Structures are given as C-alpha cells and as structure tokens.
Structure 1
Amino acid sequence: MSEIQTKLPTDTWVVATWDEYIQAVESPAYEKAKCYYHNGQMRVEMPPVGNDHASDHTVVLFAVNLFASIKGIALNGKDNCTYRKIGFQEVQPDVSYYIGENADVIPYGTSIINLDIYPPPVLVIEVANTSLADDQGEKRLMYEDLGVQEYWIVDVRNVQVMAFAVENLGSRRITESQVLPELAISLLNDALRRTRQMNQGQVGAWLLSQFQG
C-alpha cells in the first residue's frame, strides 16, 4: 500500500481495492485532491486548477443558480462535494445539484454524502480542460451507474456544454435540460462564449435579461 501512496500516478485510472483507495485518499498527500473510485479503479486529480477551468466553473454555477432563482425552482448546489457508496464508488464532481423534491434532502452538518443513506444528486457537472476524454468516457459511465438524472460536461477548450440525460444505465445528448425545464444548453454556450470578450458581471446581466425574457 505504501507504494500506491507514494508513487500513485495522477489524472489516470489505477487498479485498486476499496481499502487501498481509502488509505490513499486519507493520506495527507492527497488532502486537496479530487478523488474517484469506480469498477475497482481509482483516479486522483491534483490541483492546481487553471484560470480557464476556474472561470467557466464559476459562470456555469452562476447561470444554473440564477435560472433556478428566477424560475422558482427548488435547488441546492454543492461545489466539489464528495459522494460515497461504501465499498463500491466515490465521486467528487466539480458541481452537483439536488433539485425539486430532493432539494433539501442533505442536512447541514453532513460531511461526505453517504449514498447508502441519501439519494444521488440530480445534476452533476464536470468542467473539462485537460480531462475531456475521461469526462466523456469513464466518468460518464460512472455517473450512469451512480444514478444521476443529468450529466453536463463543460468543454473549456471548445467553449461549450455537452448535456446528457441519464436513464436505464445509459445516457443520451440533449439540447434542453430536463431537470431545469426550459433551460436551453445553447444559451449556456452563448454565455461561455461571451466570457471570452466581456467580464462575468456583464455576462451575468446578459443572462438575467435572457432568463427574464
């Protein structure tokens, strides 16, 4: 186990037992890492996160919260929250949301969200700058298994959001959110493109006009 802890490659999937995974992620060396476990493999993603990733993360989170507030949709978001199904799976998406009747299901005081007790989030978002292939591949399968209802990938380099509806252990591309009705994915893409020419305050004002229109 010491070899896994000291020589663990990052940003790739490594075969490991659940116990090995827990020992590794509880190591001080990975205190600030994002960690995943799925199908007997673990993945550790180490900081730092660059400007482009962090900026698009902020814009998409703001857009979802603003849309829900204007449309009166019950919603609670989690930033880099950890979800654990003991012995089987652990995920730490960039952004996740409980929406509608499940909006308030996670009480304050909860640390790692135990999926043997609580339902999975409704919407999960991964921001992909250098990790696009994995977000489209293994992580997509991981969230299908987890049972989320919708999965978005923010493709930083191509300035777009790819949205998937998840059902029956599969997923398909969608152009409008099903968990945030009437939210067109093309509008999010427009917002991201605008951030390349204007500041986030200006983009936020534009989103407000679109959502209220």
Structure 2
Amino acid sequence: MTVTTAKWALEDYHRMIEVGLLEGRHVELLNGEIVEMPPEGPEHAQQSTDTADYLRRLLGDQALVRDAKPVTLPNSRSEPEPDLALVQPLRALYHTRHPYPENIFWLVEYANTSLNKDLDAKRKTYAWAEIQEYWVVDLKHRQLKVFRTPCEGDYTSEETLTVGEISPVAFPDVIISVHLLFGGGNPVADPLV
C-alpha cells in the first residue's frame, strides 16, 4: 500500500491562518506541505537580527529587509518564512500580499539545526520559483553558501565562502563582509568594509 500525502494549496493555507487553525504554531508552507519550524537558538536569532540591521544600513532605501516574514511562491505552492528577504521597497503592496518572486532580490537563511532542509528542500523551492540568489549562513561550520542562477528547479552556481567580501547580484556596488555575517564584530557600530 502506498501512502499519499495531501498537498495544500496556498488558498487553503491562507484560510487556515484566517480562521486561526494554525494559531500558536510556528509553521510554513513548503511545496504544499505544512512544515513545523524549529525554534531559533540565541545565536541564530541575534545573528540574523544583526545582519538585518547591517543590510538595512548598507542598502538604505534600495531594498526592504524583511525579518522572518513570509514570501509567496505560487508556482511551488509555498509560503516559506526565510530569516531575511531582501525585496523591492513596495510597502503599500505588502499590505495586501506578501512579496512574490518578482519582488525578491535575494533570500538569506541562517542555519544550525535546519541546515539540511535549507540546503535541500528550500534551495530547490527557491530555485524553482526563480529566486535569483539564495544565501545559507551555516553557523555550525562558519560558512556562507551562495546559490545563484536558477535553472529547472536548482541553482547552477554554488560558492562557499568563509572570509572576504561578497556583492549580491542585484546590488553589485554593495560590498558585504562575510566576517560580519558570522558575528565578527558589531555590524551596526563597525565602519563599512
């Protein structure tokens, strides 16, 4: 006997949220499945907050930095909550819906216990949605994994950094210190590098 898992549509998921069925549960919709999200440890929580502040300072009004807020990926029946979503600054639009793929510059996930999910299921989901750039900050191994150029459900470019600087594809003039992504200094107090 084969067991088949029921897949949820975005509309079903939104209805569950509206009626309070998912209240008090930290979940996200990933490829039609409602997935429990592990609680954030202190390092994960503070580091993603520090990085959000750092990126806000670097990007100014060029992008909106959304911390742990949903993005809607209609073609994959997904509404994940990446740690950071760097999106077009369309605040009025986001009062009516979450950012869609065409509104997203790049996504960042901080990973400790969620590393396998972030490097596999989420990577493929984001690539399938044509998100141009996806970063995974691996806290355990102190590595930044950068995925670019989505094609047919995966990324064709992958780079691993432990030091140095990086510029996102959408903002080639913005230089981001890899060191600061791992808590190397105070990204708000430190001068721009």
Class of the TM-score when normalised by the shorter of the 2 chains: 0.7 to 0.9
Q: CA deviation at 1:109?
A: 6.0
Name the structure with the higher helix share: 1
Cα distance in 2 for partners of 1:96, 1:191 equals: 15
Q: Which residue of 2 is the match for residue 90 of structure 1?
A: 79
Q: CA deviation at 1:114?
A: 6.7
Gaps of 5+ in 1: 1-13
**Which residues in structure 2 correspond to 1:129-168 (within 5 Å)?**
129-168=112-151
Judge conservation of contact 2:51–2:180 (CA < 8 Å) in 1. Answer: no
Judge conservation of contact 2:59–2:174 (CA < 8 Å) in 1. Answer: no
Cα distance in 1 for partners of 2:77, 2:183 equals: 38
Per-residue CA distance 1:37-65 (angstroms, 9 max, x = gap): 21x43322143x21110121012212222
Per-residue CA distance 1:129-170 (angstroms, 9 max, x = gap): 101111011100000112211101111112232211133333
Judge conservation of contact 2:76–2:129 (CA < 8 Å) in 1. Answer: no
Q: CA deviation at 1:112?
A: 4.4
Cα distance in 2 for partners of 1:164, 1:133 equals: 15
Gaps of 5+ in 2: 160-165
Secondary structure at the counterpart of residue 49 of structure 2: helix
Kindly, what percent of the aligned residue pairs are identical? 19
TM-score by length of 1: 0.68
Secondary structure at the counterpart of residue 89 of structure 1: coil
- In the alignment of these two chains, the number of paired residues is 178
Secondary structure at the counterpart of residue 204 of structure 1: coil
Q: Which aligned segments of 4 or more residues in structure 1 are displaced greater than 3 angstroms? A: 23-32, 182-185
Cα distance in 1 for partners of 2:137, 2:47 equals: 8
Q: Decide which moves more: 55-64 or 143-152.
A: 55-64
Q: CA deviation at 1:18?
A: 0.9
2:29 paired with 1:31: no
